[in-house]
Chains A and B, each alone.
Chain A
Amino acid sequence: MVYDIAVIGAGVVGTQIARNLSKYDLKVALLEKESDIASGTTKANSGIVHAGFDCQTGTRMAELNVKGCRMMEEVATTLHVPYEKNGSLVVAFSEEEMATIQDLYMRGIANGLTKDELKIIEREELVEMEPNIADEAYGALYAPTAGIVSPYELAIAAAECAIGNGVEFLRKFNVGGIVYEDGNFILGAKDGRVIRAKIIVNSAGIFASYLLENFNGEKFKVIPRKGEYGLLDRSVYPLVTHTIFQCPTEMGKGILVAPTTHHNIFVGPTSLDQNDNMEGKHDVSVRDGALRTTYAEAQKSVPSVSPRDQITSFAGLRAHWIEHDFYIAPAKTNKYMINLIGIESPGLAASPAIAECVENMVLDTLDTKPAKKAEWNPSRKAPVFFRTMSPEERAELIAKDPAYSRIVCRCETVTEGEIRDAIRAPGGAIDLDGVKRRTRAGMGRCQGGFCGSKVMEILAEELDQPINEITKFGRHSDIIYERTK
C-alpha cells in the first residue's frame, strides 16, 4: 500500500494534522503505536488552552500558541469536544511578584495578545472571581481568552473526523524503521507490517526525535519531562472555576489548581526530567510522596484543596527540547519527512495552529496541488452525554434506542448506548481505557470498580472477542486470565 502521507502518532497534534489533510484528495494513513488514539502525552496533561503570554517572544511556540488559542473554540465546537473559555489567572502573592506579573503582561502584548486578552487585576477583583483563593493572594494576571479543553477527546474527535473523511487509522503500528527508497518511504512496524508513503509527518511526540535520529542521524536533545497530577472528585467543583497558575519564581513555575472540562479539579503538574532513553520515555509512574508536596504547594493558592478528595493520581511525559521551542521542519536530508520536535506545553493550545502549519508545509512539498474533496465533513457524529442532558432530551434519546436507558457507570451516569457508540465510532475504543476516555465510564469516584466488568462484557460482545482477551489499554494489560473451572 502506498500512501500519499503517513502521519506517525495519533496524539492531539497528529490527529488534527490528519484531519486537516483529509480535506484533500490524498491517501492518508494515521499510524499509532498503541491500541488507541491519545495514548501518550495527550492523555495525561493539564488540558489547558494557554493564552500565549508565557512563551518567549519571537519563538515559534509563542506564535503558534497565540494563534492556536484563538482557533481552539471553533475547532472544539465543530468537533463537539468539551471546551470552556474559563480564563486563566496567574496569581501573585506579594507586591514584588506583581512585578513579574507586569513582565508577563508585557511579554503577552509583545507576543501579539490584545489588551482585551490580558488584564492585571487587584486582589479585590481576584477574590470576586475566585472566592477560595488564598488570603495571601495579592493580585493576578487575568487572561479571559485562555480556556480548557479535554485533550484526549479533542484527539479522538479529530481522528474520528479524519477517519470519517477517508483517513486510514492503523493502530498498534509501532514504527520500527524508516527507509527512503525510489521516492517512497518504507515504514516497518515492529509486528512485521509494512507500508509505503510519499510524505511522512513525524508527530510521534516524545519519540519523534528518536525516529528522526534513526532515520538520518539528525540529533535533538529532547528530555522526557514528567508531570504528576492529583485529580479530585467532581463534587469539589466550583472550588475554582478559572485555571489558577502561581506566579513563576526562581524556584519554578509553581503548581496549578484548575478545573477540567468535566469539572474535576486537578493539582499539578510536578516537573521531573527523566533519562533520555527508552525507560525514561516510558516511565509514567507517580513517585512516592511526590503529591504530598504538590498539595502543599497547591494550598498556597487555594488553601482548601485537599488530597482527601482525590480520586486518582497520574503522570504524563512532555517532550522537552532543550531549546524550549517547537521545531517543525523537514528532515535536513529529505524534505518529504516533516518532523515535529519538542511539542510540549503549550502544544495543546497550539495544536490547531500546528496542524494548519503542517498542512501548508505538506501542500508546499507536493509537486501538484491536490484537489479539495467536495464532500469533506469538518465534524463527526456528536457523542451523547447522557449525564448532562435534560429529562426531555433523555426521554427522547431513550425512545430512539433503549440502550441509552441502561446506566452502566453509576458515578458518571454513562449509559450502555454511549459505550456501544464509543466502540462503534470510527477508530473506536477496543479496550477499557479507550471506553473510559470516550465516555467517562470508570472516570468517577469508584474508578471503574463497579462498571469495569460490565464495560468488558460490552466490549467483548461488540468486538466479538472472549472477555478475557479484553485489555485495559492494549499490549499485555490483561485484566483477567483463564476460567476458574
Chain B
Amino acid sequence: MIERNLICVACPRGCPVTVTLNEVNEVVSVTGNTCPRGDTYARAEVTHPERSLTSTVRVTGGKAYIVPVKSSRAIPKELLFSAMKEINKATLEAPVHIGDVAIKDLLGTGIDIVATNEIE
C-alpha cells in the first residue's frame, strides 16, 4: 500500500486529500475530500493527472488582438505544452462569442478550445 497526499485543486478550497494505492497502483481509498469532485480529482491525479488550460487566441478583424480561451474540460497534464503550440497557431475571426470553438478536438483528445469572452 502506498499513500499519496495531495492538495485538491478542484476548487479554491484546497482540501488536503490522501489517496491510498495498492501494489498495482489501483486506488483503494480517498480520504480528506469534502465533496465528490475531490474524490474524482484525487483518483485522476494519481493515475492520469489532468488540468484545465487557459490562454489566448489571435483574433482577426476585431476590436481586440486576442481573445481568452479555455479547454472545454481538463486535458492530460503532459499535453499542456503541446496544446499551447496548437493554441499559438489558432485564430478566430471577429465577432467572437463566448463558447466559440477555436480548436476542435485538441490533439485528438476530444476536448475543444473555446473562447471565454466576447470580442466585437
Direct A–B touching, Cβ under 8 Å: yes
- Which residues of A are interface residues toward B (Cβ below 8 A)? 483-485
Give the nearest-CB partner of A484 in chain B.
B56
How big is chain B's contact interface, by range?
A: under 10
Give the nearest-CB partner of B59 in chain A.
A485
B88 in the interface, Cβ–Cβ < 8 Å? Answer: yes
When chains A and B are docked, how far (Å) is the Cα of A168 from the Cα of B85?
51
List, sorted by A's number, 10 A–B pairs whose CB atoms are closer than 8 Å: A483-B65, A484-B56, A484-B66, A484-B88, A485-B56, A485-B57, A485-B58, A485-B65, A485-B66, A485-B88
When chains A and B are docked, how far (Å) is the Cα of A483 from the Cα of B65?
10
Chain A residue contacts of B65, Cβ below 8 A = 483, 485
Chain A residue contacts of B88, Cβ below 8 A = 484-485
Closest Cβ–Cβ distance, residue A461 to chain B (whole Å): 15
Q: Is the interface of A mostly helix, strand, loop or mixed?
A: loop
Chain B residue contacts of A485, Cβ below 8 A = 56-58, 65-66, 88
When chains A and B are docked, how far (Å) is the Cα of A483 from the Cα of B56?
12
Give the nearest-CB partner of A485 in chain B.
B58
Give the nearest-CB partner of B58 in chain A.
A485
Interface residues of B in 54-79 (CB under 8 A from A): 56-58, 65-66
Give the nearest-CB partner of A483 in chain B.
B65
Chain B residue contacts of A483, Cβ below 8 A = 65
When chains A and B are docked, how far (Å) is the Cα of A485 from the Cα of B58?
6
- Which residues of B are interface residues toward A (Cβ below 8 A)? 56-58, 65-66, 88
When chains A and B are docked, how far (Å) is the Cα of A271 from the Cα of B32?
59
When chains A and B are docked, how far (Å) is the Cα of A484 from the Cα of B87?
11
Give the nearest-CB partner of B66 in chain A.
A485
Give the nearest-CB partner of B89 in chain A.
A485
Give the nearest-CB partner of B90 in chain A.
A485
Chain A residue contacts of B57, Cβ below 8 A = 485
The 8 closest A-B pairs by CB, nearest first: A485-B58, A485-B66, A485-B88, A485-B56, A484-B56, A485-B57, A484-B66, A485-B65
Closest Cβ–Cβ distance, residue A460 to chain B (whole Å): 13
Closest Cβ–Cβ distance, residue A468 to chain B (whole Å): 12
Chain A residue contacts of B56, Cβ below 8 A = 484-485
When chains A and B are docked, how far (Å) is the Cα of A484 from the Cα of B65?
10
Closest Cβ–Cβ distance, residue B119 to chain A (whole Å): 14
Closest Cβ–Cβ distance, residue B81 to chain A (whole Å): 15
When chains A and B are docked, how far (Å) is the Cα of A366 from the Cα of B88?
66
When chains A and B are docked, how far (Å) is the Cα of A239 from the Cα of B15?
49
Chain A residue contacts of B66, Cβ below 8 A = 484-485
Give the nearest-CB partner of B88 in chain A.
A485
When chains A and B are docked, how far (Å) is the Cα of A484 from the Cα of B88?
8
Known: A485-B58, A485-B66; 6 extra A-B contacts, CB below 8 A, are A483-B65, A484-B66, A485-B56, A485-B57, A485-B65, A485-B88
When chains A and B are docked, how far (Å) is the Cα of A484 from the Cα of B68?
12
When chains A and B are docked, how far (Å) is the Cα of A255 from the Cα of B116?
55
Closest Cβ–Cβ distance, residue A414 to chain B (whole Å): 25
When chains A and B are docked, how far (Å) is the Cα of A484 from the Cα of B55?
10
When chains A and B are docked, how far (Å) is the Cα of A483 from the Cα of B66?
10
Closest Cβ–Cβ distance, residue B54 to chain A (whole Å): 13
Chain B residue contacts of A484, Cβ below 8 A = 56, 66, 88
When chains A and B are docked, how far (Å) is the Cα of A214 from the Cα of B9?
65
When chains A and B are docked, how far (Å) is the Cα of A146 from the Cα of B57?
59
When chains A and B are docked, how far (Å) is the Cα of A483 from the Cα of B64?
13
When chains A and B are docked, how far (Å) is the Cα of A485 from the Cα of B57?
7
When chains A and B are docked, how far (Å) is the Cα of A485 from the Cα of B88?
6
Give the nearest-CB partner of B87 in chain A.
A485
Closest Cβ–Cβ distance, residue B69 to chain A (whole Å): 11
Closest Cβ–Cβ distance, residue A424 to chain B (whole Å): 26
Closest Cβ–Cβ distance, residue B105 to chain A (whole Å): 21
When chains A and B are docked, how far (Å) is the Cα of A483 from the Cα of B57?
12
Closest Cβ–Cβ distance, residue B65 to chain A (whole Å): 8
Closest Cβ–Cβ distance, residue A456 to chain B (whole Å): 14
Closest Cβ–Cβ distance, residue B87 to chain A (whole Å): 8
When chains A and B are docked, how far (Å) is the Cα of A52 from the Cα of B65?
58
When chains A and B are docked, how far (Å) is the Cα of A483 from the Cα of B88?
11
When chains A and B are docked, how far (Å) is the Cα of A484 from the Cα of B66?
9
When chains A and B are docked, how far (Å) is the Cα of A419 from the Cα of B65?
25
When chains A and B are docked, how far (Å) is the Cα of A484 from the Cα of B58?
9
When chains A and B are docked, how far (Å) is the Cα of A484 from the Cα of B89?
11
When chains A and B are docked, how far (Å) is the Cα of A41 from the Cα of B88?
46
Closest Cβ–Cβ distance, residue A330 to chain B (whole Å): 57
When chains A and B are docked, how far (Å) is the Cα of A324 from the Cα of B66?
59
